[in-house]
Amino acid sequence: MFDTVFNGMMAFNQVMMLFAGFILSAIGLALFFNALHWHIHAERVRGEIKGVQKRGGFYNLVYGYMLSDGTTHESVSDVGSNAMPKANTGDPVELLVFPARPDKARRASNTKWFVLFGLAFLAPGAALFYIALTKYKFTVMTPVVMGLLGLMLAAKIVRLFKPGDLRSASALKKAFVERRNAAQGSSAFMTMEEARSGPDGKKTLAQQRKGAKVAAPILLLFGAGAIAFGIYMTQKIERLEKHGLRAPGEVVRLESRRSGSDNSLSYYPIVDFTPDGGGAAVEFKGNMGSNPPSYESGEKVTVLYLDDDPKGSAMIDSGWKNWIIPGILGVFGALMLLIGFSQLRLLTAKTL
């Protein structure tokens, strides 16, 4: 009975990871291929910023441009921001436009952001797939739980439609766009100068500067700290790679620890090994914990250590995976610094 309940809980966690991985990967791939489609098939034209339109709480830039056939058009950006855009009326801009849909334009520089956001969704999605497929064991309960959750999801989808309410995909898309536009609402067209000088614009700018005053030092501090710790870990691993020794080891047990605001449980491997030079066996705890456990009791591993300090320097040698954490810290730190400096520029700028 206990095994059935335990396997059911593990299967539920596994299926939820697979589902979350599928959703994140699907969003990431959609964003990535959408950007690729615009980049390859859309026409590049020169335009200018005509002003801004506020939709709900977001500011959407309005572009003016001329196509190769000589016709002129205006388009509201499909990407909005709750912050006042850093642009002026008349600023030149490079746009992507499909000739078959001349009233829809996208800023060419936004393509890279769609790619980056796509990768930002795709990376954790792939990681969840990897964890679900490698760290969990497939049991009889896995397809059972997957089938039950699939039936529940199908039932929820069916309840969204009334009998006889099934419509074509184009009709559903049109209805969705109409409901979204009605919910957002739209203000009248404004030049950038009018938007900044109006009551809403002044309030938005004041809120942006107030938020930047708090966010800038925090982001810069966290970014610098993450990069510093990443450099420390990189130097430590590099020293072990160059001057360290390797010896066979064994995971003798797993140590559980609760941490974080949610009191989550993680399992750390306790490894036993004997240095190549002989002597007493050395026991150490792995640096990274996880749930589900990344190692099993009795699993054989390779230990990387320094001869003059085998216990203090020892770590499980995971090959290229040794560099994952320093890499993540470096990327995270650089992103925090980039955002922090943008907030700092907002504080020092006289106007946006």
Q: Do the domain assignments include residue 93?
A: yes
Q: Do the domain assignments include residue 218?
A: no
> Based on the domain organization, do 252 and 155 belong to the same domain?
no
> Based on the domain organization, do 146 and 263 belong to the same domain?
no
State the pLDDT at residue 111.
Answer: 86
Q: Do the domain assignments include residue 212?
A: no
Choose the most confident range, by mean pLDDT, from 160-169, 183-192, 224-233.
224-233
> Based on the domain organization, do 154 and 276 belong to the same domain?
no
Percent of the chain with pLDDT over 70: 86
Alpha carbons 157 and 278: distance in angstroms, whole number: 65
Alpha carbons 63 and 53: distance in angstroms, whole number: 11
Average pLDDT, the chain: 82
228, pLDDT greater than 90: yes
Alpha carbons 315 and 313: distance in angstroms, whole number: 7
The pTM for the full model equals 0.62
State the pLDDT at residue 173.
Answer: 60
Q: Residue 299's domain spans which residues?
A: 228-330
- Each residue of 166-215: pLDDT tens digit? 555 566 566 655 655 554 445 677 888 887 788 877 887 788 788 888 88
305, pLDDT greater than 90: yes
Q: Do the domain assignments include residue 336?
A: no
> Based on the domain organization, do 116 and 259 belong to the same domain?
no
> Based on the domain organization, do 9 and 131 belong to the same domain?
yes
> Based on the domain organization, do 62 and 143 belong to the same domain?
yes
Could you give the number of structural domains in the chain?
A: 2
Tokens representing 229 are 């710790």
Burial (0-12, 13-18, 19+ Cβ within 10 Å), 279: exposed
State the pLDDT at residue 213.
Answer: 86
Q: Do the domain assignments include residue 103?
A: yes
Domain edge (last residue) among 169, 184, 209 = 169
